[in-house]
Amino acid sequence: MDVKELLYSEIDQLGVDFIKTKIKDNILNSEVIIKQIFEKCAKSRGSRNLSPSDYISLAEALLHYLLAITITPSQRKININKIEVSILVPGARGLKNGGDKVLIIQFLKGDKVEYEHTVSDLLKIQPTLDNIWLVSYCPVVTPFPLRNFVINSASIGTKELTQPFSQLMIQINDFLDRINYCGFRII
């Protein structure tokens, strides 16, 4: 069973309506839902542990799913000036106006050299450092102060800009509130 099949199997067991209702009732519930789904996916693999790469793929697929069911405005897997961006919230249109109201969420796959190159590329299209968020298995160190959402929360430590991946939906919602996004969304 590949990671996406595993994810959707666990989502089905938890219940699509249950997930939607819990998150719609209170965005803070997304943290518990994310933790629960990750835990169930890890347990269902048994002795075949998920690799860090598997966890990144799982996190990306789960975030795509949560953005879709909450009707959160976003664009996924988009190329801008030949740079592949994992997710834009609310969308690419705002980048033309300086990027203050556009959030880039980038899932880091690969080694340090690769993610440093990725960060350098992202800075070419999003000059606002606060609006580039990285998702990684363990905390990453970059030459710039960027937010980092970490899947392996045991490795976070006390880094100021590092948060657990399970809080990402809450932070996306806060970002949309901060920029006074007035388009349609259910959270």
Residue 51: Cβ within 10 Å count? 11
Confidence of residue 47 (pLDDT cuts 50, 70, 90): low
Average pLDDT, the chain: 90
Give the residue with greater pLDDT, 39 vs 47: 39
Over residues 81-93, the pLDDT tens digits come to 999 999 999 988 8
Q: Are 29 and 23 in contact (CB under 8 A)?
A: yes
Please report the sign of the dihedral spanned by the C-alpha atoms of residue 53, residue 55, residue 58, residue 64. Answer: negative
**pLDDT at res. 94:** 84
**pLDDT at res. 131:** 97
Domain assignments of the chain as residue spans, ordered by start: 3-69, 75-178
CATH class of the domain defined by 75-178: alpha beta
Over residues 101-136, the pLDDT tens digits come to 999 999 998 888 888 999 999 999 999 999 999 999
